Amino acid sequence: MSKNFKIVVEYDGTHFFGWQRQKDQKTVQCEIEKILSRIMNQKIRITGSGRTDSGVHAFGQVANFHADTDMKPNMVQKALNGMIKDPIVIRECSLVDDDFHAQYDAISKEYRYYILNREDPCAIGASFQWHIRQPLDMELMGQCCHAIIGVFDFRSFENSGSPRSSTIREIFFSDICQLNHNRLVFKICASGFLKYMVRNLIGTIVLAGQKKISVEEFKAILHAKDRTKAGPTAPPHGLFLKQVNYF
């Protein structure tokens, strides 16, 4: 009997070429499919909520797959976690309606971007945060975060090669806060994201934090709809897909 399984996946993306299956490259999707096919004794293809780029991590990536099996979700979860040797963990596994689609049914996604803001680097955790030595102005960065809440054309923060029919997205929440005296986190929730959009946003917001651009200049960049006007792409290792939201 065919069943539709939904899984929530946590992974360290440091040594993966992103989530999505790629020929001759190690990806998170490929590793899970390989193990699932072995467990189910059939070819399994999984559908993710969307891509994460090379080096990007996830607390809560969502995927679904169909399989002809009598196995219960908890058995599938235990089997996967017992056989995967890479830094991938299946946090949840459940049965969903046959027509559930991890990508098309998603209504929003939440990301987190972590920054270590101090003179000296760290020995532990360097693969999970962007080290910036120059002091950052939290108030200016916060004003930039709040300026993008709403519906806008984010073409200025899109890299080429993004598969999309529109560059308009709705930002439901955007803020930056201090976790401790030298660690910051940028939080954002939106209806969807363009290629490198979060990393391009934080790269430009950091310019405001360094007082290289003003908040008004940041707003002008947003409305320019021109990628060449925006700041650099922030490195991938500070970025985490926190969760995917459904109805």
Q: Which residues are catalytic?
A: 53
The two structure tokens encoding residue 96: 């969903």
Rounded to the nearest 5 degrees, what angle is found at the Cα of 110, between the Cα atoms of 166 and 169?
20
Per-position b or e across 34-67, b if 16+ CB within 10 A of its CB:
ebbeebbeeebebebbbbbbbbbbbbbbbbbbeb
In contact, 106 and 6? CB cutoff 8 Å: no
Q: Is 209 helix (H, G, I), strand (E, B) or coil?
A: helix
Question: Beta strand 106-117 with 88-96: parallel, antiparallel or unpaired?
Answer: unpaired
Strands 239-246 and 106-117: antiparallel
Residue found by looking up tokens 């806060």 in the block: 177
> Please, are residues 98 and 6 in contact by the beta-carbon 8 Å criterion?
no
